[in-house]
Chains A and B, each alone.
Chain A
């Protein structure tokens, strides 16, 4: 071309509809987001879910109560024991079945270890989201999974499998903790806690990380309450509601711990809440091992025919605090051996719904940061 001045022509393009998912490395599972963009700014975000809908609630009407406890562990697959814990709590409440104290403490023990393991996966995948798989994010991912492997080894020694532990039974727990395992748990808690500053330095201590998460995906208090977000997402928006304190179950009424909350409501606040929760959980597992009461772990009469456990008719709602928030089971029973209706109050379903409200106005890069900070698990969303 000739050597004259270059003419710059600016054209305004209209809205671009971009499909993100369901196969995408950063959507935390099979989530599809239809983003309407103007340049890099998101105007509208439409989430499409259901790609992992396995009909667990319909399946629940065809299986007996005792058969059902392991089924729910596949829903929120990062903290499987929390699901079955909520289920057995609901059934025990409806059927007035007593649980021995030691079993309750052991349930809390496994739940807290799985909370640490779930937050480590969250942090590792957040590193992948913000840093890129072949970029710097993989470092954080590898370090988090290294810590998580230690926890999974411990759970494998305690229960036989790495995460779908089948730990909860209606009326108790399946596996017991002896003195050697208790010492291993304390050593493991110390070792994971020693690794936390390193993980912090790679994430929160990194100024680029702060830039990408500060004021990104801010959820106001009113929006949080109207939509019904739960868990660390709710506590980062200034509402210090934790099911373990508000409606205590298992051993939590007797264990002292702090409820972590922040007021900013952005991705950085959610990050800080979860990092602090890891420390709280590590303290909790030590307290549980110290105060573990003696006794049996399963108190029901030996089940001659597990299929015949009948639960009296009625309705019940029981919830636990999973790493994602309030995980509740609403069970309607008609007095037979199978539930009439079972509804899972899934925390990720409610947390994901807030996406339509907070993504517009942000950039495409913020979409990934926001999704990572909300920590949805699609098995929990779609059930």
Chain B
């Protein structure tokens, strides 16, 4: 699905490795690669920002689209679990601001130089990052009463 010449360009400049939906980059190249995608290759439309937790690392994905060619490219970086922090691209794509806040809120991955990094979906004083695998789905907090014995899952 992603355009092969763009993938090849990213491979040579930023040592990107392709995967099913796009390319995987080293975390240090994220900002420069996305700037190049936006300015040089015409991927000016921001689609999506998401995170995934794998066994050894978090993955942060940003999807951008070239509206003329219709191609959607996913850019993935791996973030180590013990020091989860990656560059923020909120000044490259304005739409990344809220998506990165959501990844911080739900996964605990920090974003360097983000204009306003605070929780977006959970209450401000919520302890924990809900989408981590170590976080039980039915964790009680505050107004949420502890689960009754018969429906603890």
Residues of A within 8 A of B (CB): 49-50, 53, 55, 57-59, 61-62, 223, 225-228, 239, 241, 246-247, 314-317, 326, 328, 330, 332, 340-341, 343, 345, 349-350, 353, 357, 382
Q: Establish whether residues B46 and A228, one from each chain, have CB atoms under 8 Å apart when the complex forms.
A: yes
Task: Give A278 to B65 CA distance when docked, in angstroms.
Answer: 27
Quote the shortest CB–CB distance from B60 to chain A (angstroms). 12
Q: Hey, which chain A residues are within 8 Å of B137, CB to CB?
A: 55, 58-59, 61-62
Task: Give A314 to B129 CA distance when docked, in angstroms.
Answer: 25
Quote the shortest CB–CB distance from A315 to chain B (angstroms). 5
Task: Give A149 to B75 CA distance when docked, in angstroms.
Answer: 45
Task: Give A55 to B139 CA distance when docked, in angstroms.
Answer: 12
B63 interface residue (CB < 8 Å to A): yes
Interface-forming stretch among B10-18, B25-33, B90-98?
A: B90-98
Q: Establish whether residues A353 and B130, one from each chain, have CB atoms under 8 Å apart when the complex forms.
A: no
Quote the shortest CB–CB distance from A158 to chain B (angstroms). 33
B131 interface residue (CB < 8 Å to A): yes
Quote the shortest CB–CB distance from B107 to chain A (angstroms). 10
Quote the shortest CB–CB distance from A183 to chain B (angstroms). 38
10 contacts between A and B (CB under 8 A): A50-B121, A57-B131, A58-B131, A62-B153, A228-B95, A316-B21, A317-B63, A328-B47, A330-B63, A382-B121
Task: Give A226 to B131 CA distance when docked, in angstroms.
Answer: 27
Q: Hey, which chain B residues are within 8 Å of A382, CB to CB?
A: 121
B61 interface residue (CB < 8 Å to A): yes
Task: Give A326 to B97 CA distance when docked, in angstroms.
Answer: 19
CB interface residues, B 36-73, toward A, < 8 Å:
44-48, 50, 52-53, 61, 63, 67, 70, 72
Quote the shortest CB–CB distance from A227 to chain B (angstroms). 4
Q: Closest residue to B122 on the A side, CB-wise?
A: A50
Quote the shortest CB–CB distance from A110 to chain B (angstroms). 25
Q: Taking A62-B153, A315-B20 as given, write out 20 further A-B residue pairs in contact, using a Cβ cutoff of 8 Å, ordered by the A residue number.
A: A58-B137, A225-B46, A227-B95, A228-B46, A228-B93, A228-B95, A315-B21, A317-B21, A317-B72, A317-B74, A330-B61, A330-B63, A332-B52, A340-B52, A343-B50, A345-B50, A350-B98, A353-B94, A353-B97, A357-B94
Q: Hey, which chain B residues are within 8 Å of A328, CB to CB?
A: 47-48
Q: Closest residue to B55 on the A side, CB-wise?
A: A334
Quote the shortest CB–CB distance from A361 to chain B (angstroms). 17
Q: Establish whether residues B153 and A223, one from each chain, have CB atoms under 8 Å apart when the complex forms.
A: no
B120 interface residue (CB < 8 Å to A): yes
User: Would A314 and B95 be within 8 Å (CB), given that A53-B121, A58-B137, A341-B52 are in contact?
Assistant: no
Q: Which of B21, B72, B123, B130 is within 8 Å of A58, CB to CB?
A: B130
Q: Hey, which chain A residues are within 8 Å of B70, CB to CB?
A: 246-247
Q: Which of B44, B97, B98 is within 8 Å of A225, CB to CB?
A: B44
Q: Hey, which chain B residues are within 8 Å of A343, CB to CB?
A: 48, 50
Task: Give A225 to B52 CA distance when docked, in angstroms.
Answer: 25
Q: Which of A49, A228, A353 is within 8 Å of B45, CB to CB?
A: A228
Q: Closest residue to A229 on the B side, CB-wise?
A: B95
Quote the shortest CB–CB distance from A75 to chain B (angstroms). 13
Task: Give A270 to B106 CA distance when docked, in angstroms.
Answer: 33
Task: Give A365 to B110 CA distance when docked, in angstroms.
Answer: 37
Q: Establish whether residues B20 and A228, one from each chain, have CB atoms under 8 Å apart when the complex forms.
A: no
Q: Establish whether residues B121 and A227, one from each chain, have CB atoms under 8 Å apart when the complex forms.
A: no
Task: Give A57 to B46 CA distance when docked, in angstroms.
Answer: 21
Quote the shortest CB–CB distance from B84 to chain A (angstroms). 16
Task: Give A59 to B137 CA distance when docked, in angstroms.
Answer: 7
Q: Establish whether residues A330 and B94, one from each chain, have CB atoms under 8 Å apart when the complex forms.
A: no
